[in-house]
Structure 1
């Protein structure tokens, strides 16, 4: 593991979309953090990659406003946006109700965030570096997540 783990997270975390009409709160620490280099994330974030904090569902709440579905409208993932400024705020995966992928840049405090893993490096832009501990050409295999979560917990203290 790298010698520079992120600073301790100070819960609860509060944050909002760009215009402030939708606010969120997190009361449980992330299970892991990630940067995704897939073409879908590149397009939705208008950037080289998207950042994610994988939050237990019972530790996440929308505290103001009502986000709307946007981005990918398929059966697997549901991307939620502010209806006014269209900030991509969080993602829920169909059939995986135990976690929410939250964009960590929404939070007032982002000092704690470091990507622990990066996914879809097969489509990473040549200049895009994340400093992630683990890199995967696509997504890690499902059987790897339990070990990754444990390692992330040890890394973050």
Structure 2
């Protein structure tokens, strides 16, 4: 774990909700679905799948926003930054919005999802693209490949 320069800290735009990451990501991704486009007011959302045991909220109380459905999207109750998502039935990871990290400069999406809904001009450097989501049976191969080739962050550049 030391080669990942953990733990990482992060938080919302206003700083009222803070996070701590103590396990390396399983995958990094960009999601092009229209829901992510609308919640980010951008072409896609960026996220890092963090093992649940390596994720903690250290300050504040995030609230559920978005659609309030099977995927629970958590936001800061004050500045309304979309911080992370917990998908129903997939309790082993938390989908952290990568830009919530104090230093996201190392982040590159390894895969992109929902390219069937992407804006025509939106491109990422992702190595794998999926029209929707990868087949559930492909995740083991994808996480193994990500672990083998992921660019690990160096010492934090932010004070």
TM-score, length basis structure 2:
0.91
Partner residue in 2 for 1:62:
57
Question: Structure 1: 5+ residue runs without aligned partners?
Answer: 1-7
| Candidates 29, 36, 61, aligned match of 2:31 | 36
Within the alignment, does 1:105 sit opposite 2:99 as a pair?
Answer: yes
The alignment covers a number of residue pairs equal to: 149
Partner residue in 2 for 1:80:
74
Pairing of 1:138-149 with structure 2 (within 5 A): 138-149=132-143
1:71 and 1:82 mapped to 2: Cα distance? 12
RMSD of aligned Cα (Å)? 1.0
Partner residue in 1 for 2:89:
95
Partner residue in 2 for 1:48:
43
Runs of 4+ in 1 over 6 A off after TM superposition: none
Question: What is the deviation of 1:50?
Answer: 0.2
Match of 1:145, SS? Answer: helix
Partner residue in 1 for 2:117:
123
| Candidates 15, 19, 23, aligned match of 2:10 | 15
Question: Structure 2: 5+ residue runs without aligned partners?
Answer: 152-159
